[in-house]
Structure 1
Amino acid sequence: MSAEEPLFRVVRGVPTAEELAALVGAIVVRSRPVAAAPPVAASAWARSGRPLAAPATGPGAWRASGLPR
């Protein structure tokens, strides 16, 4: 591709300068790589609803069973 060759061309219709600018903006946005969102840590509220790997046993286990982890 030479420097004189257009990257795209309008095949039908006569777009305004604003329409061409919107098209170019959409192409630029779509061509950028998407950044991965950082992982979100679970809140204490969400963690409290998850079962333990094994139920607590021994003295005070009944009290520990109702406390958040």
Structure 2
Amino acid sequence: MVFVVGDKPENEPQEQELWTISKQLVEKVILQAVQQYSQERKHREKKTEAKRDLRLQVSNCSEQQERKK
């Protein structure tokens, strides 16, 4: 096959379509990863906050028990 300057290969539209689809796929995967990370981080923060609240409650109960003695 011989190309003249200015001619485009016939498969160029297919390559462009593959490039576009690949780019969209990568963007989608990155977005999903960021969303998953964000959800996991929120879950960890909630667990940490719950543990902190529990420790505070235990501490308050202990202080109340000491005062009663």
Shared fold (TM-score greater than 0.5)? no
TM norm structure 1? 0.26
TM-score, length of structure 2 as denominator length: 0.26
Q: Of Structure 1 and Structure 2, which has the larger fraction of its residues in helix?
A: 2
Greater relative contact order (Cα 8 A, min sep 6): structure 1 or 2?
1
